[in-house]
Amino acid sequence: MVVGKIHVGDILTDFQVVVYDTDVNDATSVLDVSTCTAKYIIITDPDGNETQFTASFLTTGTDGIIRYINSNAAFLDEGGVWKYHGRVIFPDTGDFSTNPALFEVLD
């Protein structure tokens, strides 16, 4: 989740994603991502251009939370509706992505 108002040129915006596992009965539970070999936050601008960032754990990964903190003032360069989602890769079970979340960047 992204908390607070985001403006063009902002830095230190904290993008956090909780990775869930959904079983065959559509029941969801937090996925322990502590053993994943790669983790990313993918951010899509209003024009549909995707940028993939290497994510880190908020804690240890057992809570399913990955994050990316933006440090580039030039990245959030236009107002409008953006979206982001998480992606984690496990050595034996493969590649998992979260559903996208929307956020607005204000001019």
pLDDT at 2: 82
Rg from Cα positions in the chain: 14
Assign 3-state DSSP to the chain and report helix, strand, coil percentages, each to 5.
0, 50, 50
Q: pTM to 2 decimals?
A: 0.92
What pLDDT tens digit does each residue of the chain (107 aa) get? Answer: 787 899 999 999 999 999 999 989 999 999 999 999 999 999 999 999 999 999 999 999 999 999 999 999 999 999 999 999 999 999 998 999 999 999 999 99
pLDDT at 102: 96
